[in-house]
Amino acid sequence: MSIESNLKRLGIILPPAPSAIAAYIPVKRAGNLIFTSGQIPLKEGLLVNQGRVGKNLSIEKAGESLEICCLNALSAIQTLVKLSEIKNISKISVFVACDPEFYEQHLVANYASNLLIGIFEEKGKHARSALGVSSLPLNSCVELELVVEI
């Protein structure tokens, strides 16, 4: 199936691309790679689900937030290339703001992994890191960066 039909099947409408911020930009291409900036779960200009997993936020809420990050990242990539030009999702890094006693960052990260595989199928299979961090910009609960190959 095509990426377009996967997006339709999954009921996904990509958000408008994150706007270029003064001091840095949402995506940068280097040869056959595209690096995205770390995405936080901004939806229609608002940051959803602020807080820390294991303290005041569930895995599910953090996972849903990570899905928003993921769609923002794809939307940013789309300003450079069509999603169909993505040869592979190479690497994703998932940062989870959490309590020091929370050890299930991988369950949060699965929300992004499953979404990418749902959209890109075989090409969506990626290497991944998932970490717990003490805090993120604007009290975001998650942050996601992608490296994709075109």
In the complex, the residues that contact a copy of itself under the rule CB under 8 A are 22-28, 30-33, 35-38, 52, 88-93, 95, 97-106, 109-110, 113-114, 117, 125-140, 143, 145, 147, 149
Nearer to a copy of itself, 2 or 139 (CB): 139
Q: Could you tell me the two tokens for 54?
A: 């294991």
- As given in the structure block, the two tokens for residue 81 are 């290339």
CB of 90 to a copy of itself, least distance (A): 4
Ramachandran category for residue 72: left, alpha or beta (phi over 0 → left; psi -120 to 50 → alpha): alpha
* Nearer residue to a copy of itself within complex by CB, 38 or 61: 38
Residue 150 in 3-state DSSP?
coil
* Rounded distance between C-alpha atoms, residue 130 and residue 142, angstroms: 10
Q: What 8-state DSSP symbol labels residue 137?
A: G
CB of 117 to a copy of itself, least distance (A): 7
Give whichever of 13 and 30 is closer to a copy of itself, judged by the CB atom.
Answer: 30
